[in-house]
Structure formats: structure tokens, C-alpha cells
Amino acid sequence: MRLVARIYIAVILALGGSALLSGLLAWQSGSLLRLCFFVAMAMLCSGLKVGLPGVQGTMSVSYVTVLLGVVELGLAEALLMGFCATMVQCFWRAKQRPAAIQVLFNHAAIAIAISVAYSVQHVSWPPLARFPPASLLVLTASAYFLANTVSMSLVIAFTEGKRVLTVWKDCYFCSLPHYLLGASIAGALVYVTRQFGWEISVLVLPAVYLVYRSYRLYLGRLEKEKEHAEQMGLLHLRTIEALALAIEAKDDVTHSHLSRVQVYAAELGKEFGLSPDEFQALQAAAILHDIGKLAVPDYIIHKPGKLTAEEFERLKIHPVVGAEILAQVRFPYPVVPIVRGHHEKWNGSGYPDGLAGEEIPIGARILAAVDCLDALTSDRPYRPAWPLDKSMELIISESGCSFDPRVVEVLRRRAPELEAKARAQAQSAPANYMRKELRVERGEAPGAGLELPVAPPRGAQEAASPEFVSWIAAARQEVQALYELTLELGSSLSLHETLSVLDMRLKKLIPHDCIAIYLRRGHLLKPEFVSGEDAAMFSALEIPVGQGLSGWVAEQGRPIVNGHPSVESGYLGEPRKFSVLGSALAVPLAGPEGIVGVLTLYRGEKNGFSSDHLRLLQAVQGKLALAVGNAVSFRQVERFAATDGLTGLPNARSLFLRLDSELSRSKRTGEPLAVVVGDLDGFKRVNDAFGHMEGNRVLQYFAQRLREVCREHDIVARMGGDEFVLVFPGLGPEAAANKMSSVCRTVSEDACRAFPTADIVLSAGYAAFPSDGQDAEELLAVADRRMYAAKRDRRSPAGVLAEVQTPAQLIAQARY
């Protein structure tokens, strides 16, 4: 229980106890029989109770008899009636046994209310001296009503964190007419009893029962209306949550973000005592604040690294788009300002409107802080989750700068408690997920057949739809176009085909009149692909790196938007020729070894390109650079023979390409890889004794036998001379040692039988990835050293004729 609630209860208990004690000390009773009769009626009427809307308390019609006692009896007798009636109301047909503090508080509150009503009725106050008895009785009933209901409203508000006036209006104000009706009944009964004796007061029971029935029917109708309103509100909220779930389903990274933000925001909203409309708006905004990200392409939202300036500009539209979408719903509470302002900052440096301080809606200030806190404590594509204490340090450091200091202070004080609540709700809530891998097997085609839909003209679509619809449609179309482009870029190793696909696809994304891809060759940029207006002129260019528009981009590694194409034509060597195009957009193509080229788009009008065009180009920049680099490498490899002319094995160039490819695959999959380097001991003597023709025959024989004893997917290559390299994917150090020993022994023994006059033996050394090296050069160097060590010591594990008993011994002896 909160401290303010404890203090208030203690005050009420003290005041109620004092009132009860003072009344009992002044005990006066004219007729004990009459008192017992009145007490019995009060207890009977207190059993006629109804539940109050919105709270767990009840209210009985005993106030009619209590008012009668206040008018006809003394203070002590009226207090006794109230005490007995309250006791019956607390325990008679109670849904759950009340706590002792509740019983004491109820008795104290009734004692205070009766004392206040008795003072109004009997104390001779000058303002009330000239009031007629009927009016005075109405004032007495009103005083009793206020004293009783206000004290109960205060304790409910303090314990449940609600507004006092809201509780009083929702739960008790509706009973005021019945209190006044009870006062009328009590007044009539006073008149009758004074005329015919107190025994006639038994007639009050039918009247009280009619009041009880009417009050019960009235509250029952109110309760049904309230339940209906709550059900409609819950239906509204569930509809919002379902919409948010549908939006969230495309983002598995932040699947619990919305529910956690909702818990945090709701608790802070209670802490700040938001009005019902503000609180409902905050709850809805906590669920729907990111709905505007429908208009942001997924590759920006899920980008693992930092955003470019252009990508951030696109991301910043999501609060505006979200507000426009929700404005169409016409919520009965202010959701739109919260969604629009949840990225505003306390110092005015936020977006989209640059609001500052109290100009930002309180709901938006709360949402901004809790949204940032949950983002910090959750795994995101660009960084892992932070612990709560580290996240709170950052939030606190931004107090008064990005966030409202009051909100930060509440978060600092309650962060562990709120985090525990969020986790508990996540564990107890049913799993909300949407099936993504869903396929309907039946229904191959409609009766009329399948045909691609024809999209309406964009202008007509935008005119018929709100602006946010066009934003969302543009984002979806952009993602689809980028997906198709990147998919096709990697489908061919032909450089011309790759660049042709790029030209065709880019025209749908970025309007341009000419496209040129310049590749770097030494200190010059030479056009590799040019298409469009002035293509002949641009095809003749040779631009020094660092000069001209494209040369500057190649040297600096930075893009240019709306540069002037005329600076390119200065490198034609013909001053009379110049381009009539008015603007250019150029981006560098960066490969693993630096800038490999520049992609430049030209357009006829000046300032024909926007930052959005640059963002789209940067989205495919890396993929394009990789595709161009691969195509260039492939074309270079094609210029040379891929195999050794004598043995038919891959030559050294092909070996390195294939070894790099296998190393890349091993790094991705974590599989081991072994490299064996070997040469022929005694081969020089064969050349000297029998000539080079016989030597060539020996090399061909060893190449054939090595290929036969190795697996189909192993790589066997000739490095040059009598040196061979074997690559065994999937073999670790121990298996590599075994395989090397087996291959060398088998091939050497076969060679001795095939060439009995030549004493030729295959000596070899091995290296294993990743233990012996991370790249091809390191692995070959290690294997080469071990091979020469084997030549010096024929008993080493790399030696062909080594008498080693186990693979473990081979490995152990190789670690020198």
C-alpha cells in the first residue's frame, strides 16, 4: 500500500475513533425498546445492499434508517445504529471476507459521516437557523452523503492510483438522487412517528425495499451499459493489437517490443495520473507508434550497420505517416499527437516538428523514453541488447536533453520493477504469432486462368488514395524492385550481361538518360559499359583518378549528387565535343582491395536527382561492386588457360582461385580443410639420365595417379616443375596426416613398379585450416616447410617412407 494511503487511513481511524468515543461518552437514551427497534431496522436494511460500479465496495439502503436515527435519536444512539448496520453490511453475504483494516476503516468513516450529519441537523448554526425542517433534512442527507462517499473515494483513489473526482463521479455520484429520496422518506416517517408514535416507523420497511429494488435495477442497468462499453473498448483494443501484430509479423527481431513498451507506458501513465482519455491514447499509441514504418523499406529497418544520411531521411517519415494513418481511424482520444511526437526531444532537436519541453504531449514524452529504453535492452540488427543498468545510464544522461526529466526520474526509480512486470507479462501471455510458412496446396489456378495484374497509373492511384497509402505502396514497390535487381546481379558472371541487367532494372527505380560504368585500370577510369544519350562520347573517355566528376568519386570514395556532366568531356581530347546532359549521380564501387570502379547516371535536366535516388543506389552499391568485381575476375581468368598443358591438372592460377573459394566456404560452414604440397625426389636424375621427354611422361603418370587416388571433390593441381598441390575439403589435421601418408605411399610404390629404373619418391608436407593458417598463402607456406623437412628427415611425419605407427604420432612430430 502506498504511503499516502496509509497516512490517510490512519487519519480516518483516528477521527472516527474520536467521534465514536465522544458520542458514547455523551450517551443518552430515552427508550431502550425504541433504540433496539431502530437498530434492528438499520441492520435489516443494511442487508439490502448492491454492488457499486467500478469498485469492489457495496452500498445498502440503511442510510434511510440512519437518517431517521440522526433526526429522532441522540448522537450515541445514531452511532450505535451506524456501527451495527456497517457490521452487517461488511459480513452479510460478502463475496470475500474483508480484512480487519477494511472493517475498521468502514466503521470509522460511518462514524464521521453520522457525526457530520448530526451536527448539521442539531447544532444551532446561524446560517441554518432559519431553514425549514424539510430543507434542513435535505442538507443533513447531503452532508451524510458527501462525508460518506468522499472518504470512500479518497481511500480508493489513494490505494489504486486513481483520481479522486473520477472515482467519486463514476462510483458514488449516481446514488445522490436515492439519498435525497431516502431523506424524503425519512422526513415523512419523522412526521408520522411524531403524530402516531415511533411504532409506526415499521412502515418504512416497504418503502425502503422499493428504494432498494429501484436502486438495484438502476445500478444493474448501469453495470450492463458499463460492461458493454468495456467490451467494446476491449474489442477496439484487440483490433488495434491484431493490426499491430500483422505489422510486427514482418519483423522477428522486435517481436516483443510492442508488448513491453505497452507495459512500461501504462505504468508511467498511472504514475503521472493521466486522464482516462490520455491514458487510453497512450495505450493505443504504445501499440501503434511504429505503424508508419510500413512506408519505410525493410532493408533500412533491418540494416545491420549505421544508416546513411539518405536512409535516415527516409526513416524519419514514419511518425508522420503513422499519424496520417491513425487520423483516418478517428479515435475518440488523442492518439495521433502522441504517435506524431514520439521522436520529439525535450530540447527541441527531435523530429518531425521540432517541438520542445511542454509543447510535446505528455504521452509522447513517456513513449519516447520507454521506447528508447526497450530498444536499448533488446537485440537489434545493428547491436546486441544492453543490460538494464547500462541502458538506464544512457537514459539518465539524456535527461533534460532528449527526455523529460520527470519521466526519466520515474524510470530511474521504477525501472527494475517495470522490467519485472514486463517479463512476467511476456511469460504469462499466450504466444501471439502469425504463420509465415503457409501454403495452400489446392487450387492451382482460377477458372479464368492466371494473368499478371495491370497496375493503374501512379498519378490516378495517388489522387484516389491518401498520401500515406502512396508512401506505403512506394516502399513495397521499392523493396520488390531492389530484390529483383540484387537477385539478377548475381545470376551471371558475364560482365556485359551483369551491367545490362543493371541498366534495365535501374531505369525503373531511378530515371536517367544515360548510364556509364567506369572500371579502374591503374590510374585511369575506362568505360566498361555505356548506354543512353551521348553514349558514344562517354565510351571514348579515359578519366584520370582524382580528376573529373567520376575520377573524384573514385579517389575520394564518396558519392556526388547533381554534379555537372560537362567536366567529364574535358578528357576526350576534343574541346569541341561536350555533353548536353544537365546533372549526374555517381557512386563508387568498392571491392575488397579498394575502389574498382564508378557507376554514374546522367540526366538531361539540371538537379535531376534527389537524395532518395542516392539512397536507392547506395542500397545496391555493395552488391553491384561485388558482382562487377566477380565478373571482372571471371573475365581475367578466362584469358588464361585454367589447366596445365602437360598434365591436364589445374594450374597455379586456377589452384589459388579454387583454394580461396574452398577457404571461404570453410569459414562460412566451420568445416576443416587440408592442403598438401609435394614434389618428386629424384626427378632431376630422370631428366639428366633419360631426357625431358621421359621426365614429362613421369609427370603425367604421377598426375594421373594422384587424381585417381584422391576423392572426386578433392583438388589436385600442378604448381610448376615437379611440384603438386592437393586440397582435401573436410579433413582435419589427423585425417589429413593419414590421407597424405596413404597417398604418398601408394603413388610412390606404383611409380617404382612403372619406372623400375628410376628411383622416384613423392615427398609431401601438409597444413590444416584453421590451425595452421587462415589463407592460402599461409597454408601453402606451412605445407612447403614441412615438405622440405620431410626431405631432410625421411622419418618425419611428412615423409613418404616414414615408419610412423599412428596418426597421433604423425601430428605430434609435425609440431616443431
Domain with CATH 1.10.3210.10 in the chain: 250-428
Chain position carrying cell 616414414: 802
Rounded CA separation 343/368 (Å): 6
More confident position, 110 or 213: 110
| Among the listed residues 239, 243, 205, the one whose alpha carbon sits nearest the alpha carbon of residue 38 | 205
Report the alpha-carbon distance of residue 530 to residue 361 in Å, rounded.
Answer: 54
The DSSP H or E segment spanning 562 is strand 560-563
Element (H, E) at 561: strand 560-563
Least confidently predicted of 75-79, 427-431, 498-502, 660-664: 427-431
* Amino acid 366: pLDDT: 92
CA distance 544 to 535: 19
> Closest by alpha carbon to 550, among 575, 630, 542?
542
Grid cell listed for 351: 523530429
pLDDT digits (tens, 9 = 90+) for 87-128: 887 777 777 777 888 888 888 888 888 888 888 877 766 666
Per-residue CA distances from 429 to 259, 283, 373, 544, 637 (Å): 10, 17, 21, 64, 59
Specify the 3-state DSSP secondary structure of 445: coil
Boundaries of CATH 3.30.70.270 in the chain?
A: 652-814
User: Mean pLDDT: which of 90-104, 142-156, 493-507, 631-645 is highest?
Assistant: 142-156
For residue 718, list its beta bridge partners.
724
**How many CA atoms lie less than 13 Å away from 220 in the CB half-sphere?**
7
C-alpha cell at 423: 517479463
pLDDT one-digit tens code per residue, 217-274: 766 776 777 777 777 767 766 776 666 665 555 554 445 677 788 888 888 888 888 8
Query: Bigger pLDDT: 713 or 231?
Result: 713
Q: Which residues contact 303 (CB under 8 A, 6 or more apart)?
A: 311, 381, 382
Assign 365 a pLDDT band (cuts: 50, 70, 90).
Answer: very high
Instruction: Classify burial at 173, counting beta carbons within 10 Å of its beta carbon; exposed 0-12, middle 13-18, buried 19 or more.
Output: middle
- What's the chain's average pLDDT? 77
Which amino acid, residue 486?
A: T
String of DSSP letters for 238-250: HHHHHHHHHHHTT
- Give the DSSP letter of residue 355: -
Omega of the bond prior to 527 within 30 degrees of 0, cis?
A: no
Does the structure show a pLDDT above 90 at 431? no
Residues 407 and 368: their CA atoms lie apart, in Å, by 10
β-partners of residue 517 are: 529, 599
Angle 10-12-18 (CA atoms, 0-180°, nearest 5)?
A: 105
473 vs 536, residue with greater confidence = 536
Contacts of 502 (CB under 8 A, 6+ apart): 485, 489, 515, 517, 599, 624
Residue 340: what pLDDT? Answer: 92
Weakest-pLDDT range from 11-20, 254-263, 644-653, 720-729: 254-263
Of the two residues 488 and 445, the one the predictor is more confident about is 488
Confidence of residue 405 (pLDDT cuts 50, 70, 90): very high
CATH annotation of 479-638: 3.30.450.40
Burial status of residue 475 (CB atoms within 10 A of its CB: 0-12, 13-18, 19 or more): buried
The fourth-level CATH superfamily of domain 250-428 is Hypothetical protein af1432 (1.10.3210.10)
Is residue 114 within 8 A of residue 70, CB to CB? The reply is yes
Quick count: other Cβ atoms within 10 Å of Cβ 123?
8
C-alpha distances (whole Å) from 686 to each of 723, 730, 793 are 15, 36, 22
Contact (Cβ atoms closer than 8 angstroms) between residue 120 and residue 139: yes
Separation of alpha carbons 783 and 561, rounded Å: 51
- What is the percent of the chain where pLDDT is above 90? 6
DSSP assignment string, 574-585: -TT------EEE
The pLDDT assigned to 510 comes to: 84
d(CA 345, CA 371): 13
Positions of CATH 3.30.450.40 in the chain: 479-638
Give tens-digit pLDDT for 438-479.
444 555 545 444 444 434 444 433 434 455 556 566 666 666
Q: What pLDDT sits at residue 211?
A: 66
- Find which of 51-55, 281-285, 480-484, 499-503 is predicted with most confidence, using mean pLDDT: 281-285
pTM score: 0.46
Cβ count within 10 A of residue 630: 17
CB 710 within 8 A of CB 716: yes
Preceding amide of 352 cis, omega within 30: yes
309: number of Cβ within 10 Å: 10
Architecture of domain 652-814: 2-Layer Sandwich (3.30)
Asked whether 617 and 611 are in contact (CB, 8 A), the reply is no
Q: What cell was used for 621? A: 552499391
Q: Which CATH architecture does the domain made up of 3-225 adopt?
A: Orthogonal Bundle (1.10)
Instruction: Say which residue, 319 or 172, is predicted with more confidence.
Output: 319
pLDDT of residue 636: 64
For residue 476, what pLDDT is reported?
63
Of 549 and 63, more confident: 549
